A = this chain, B = another copy of it.
Amino acid sequence: MEFPSKLIESAVGELSKLPGVGKKTALRLALHLLKAEADTTATLAEALAKMRFEIRYCDTCHNISDTPECSICANQLRDQSTVCVVSDIRDVIAIENTAQYQGMYHVLGGVISPIEGIGPSDLTIDSLVERVTKEGSEIREVILAISPTMEGDTTAFYLSRKLRDLPELNVSTIARGIPMGGELEYADEITLGRSIVERQRQAR
């Protein structure tokens, strides 16, 4: 595609690096910004840069946070005895939006994937084990809320093995209301909420 301006060519080039944004969509977005108030672009550019450069991750659960301890971990009204393990920040947001869960989280940062070269040490698994086993831990249950894909199941299996020396700890998985092979984040809120409420004990 030829552009009459290097400035727009560069903007379209950068926009089309975003997932799901082709050249035509990128051009549409760029021209939209050109037509809109200059402020719209300034605010967008600033919000993106600010997010990327100022974001933090919670020291405890690895959720995104504006502070060293995220608002969920800091909330004393939540159930400190239950930890919901998810692969991704998106999943925290999806589960929070069901309003069916009042416990804590642990964000793995992905799933075990030999094909993509992601091993257990690339995830926050040691940090989870440490949370659960450390002196005075209140954690009584770990819910594995990992997408039921092959890689997700591998990760859940690995985690349940890691945790099986803790007989006091209940390890459950979210109910398989979610279709096999489906991505957790695409589930509607009712299905996802129910799958948390009807969670099942993980076989181990």
Q: Which of A's residues lie within 8 Å of B, judged by CB?
A: 1-8, 10-11, 13-15, 17-21, 25, 27-34, 38, 40-55, 63-66, 70-72, 88-90, 92-93, 96-97
Contact B55 A7 (CB under 8 A): yes
What is the distance, in angstroms, from A43's C-beta to the closest C-beta of chain B?
6
CB pair B40 A49 closer than 8 Å = no
Q: Which 6 A-B pairs have the closest CB atoms?
A: A41-B52, A45-B45, A11-B51, A14-B44, A14-B47, A45-B49
In the bound complex, what is the Cα–Cα distance between A15 and B27 (angstroms)?
Answer: 15
Question: Copy number in this complex?
Answer: 2
On whether the beta carbons of A65 and B5 are closer than 8 Å, the reply is: yes
Contact of A51 (CB < 8 Å), options: B1, B2, B34, B64: B34
CB atoms of A2 and B93 under 8 A apart: yes
Taking chain A's interface residues, is the majority helix, strand, or loop, or is none over half, making it mixed?
Answer: helix
In the complex where A34-B52, A52-B38 touch, is A4 in contact with B44 (Cβ < 8 A)? Answer: no
Contacts of A96 in B (CB 8 A): 2, 4
CB-contact partner of A65 in B4, B17, B48, under 8 A? B4
A12 CB, min distance to chain B CBs, angstroms:
9
Q: How far is the CB of A40 from chain B (nearest CB, A)?
A: 7
16 residue pairs of the A-B complex, CB under 8 angstroms, read: A5-B55, A8-B51, A8-B55, A11-B50, A11-B51, A14-B47, A15-B44, A19-B32, A20-B25, A20-B28, A27-B90, A28-B90, A31-B90, A34-B51, A41-B49, A42-B52
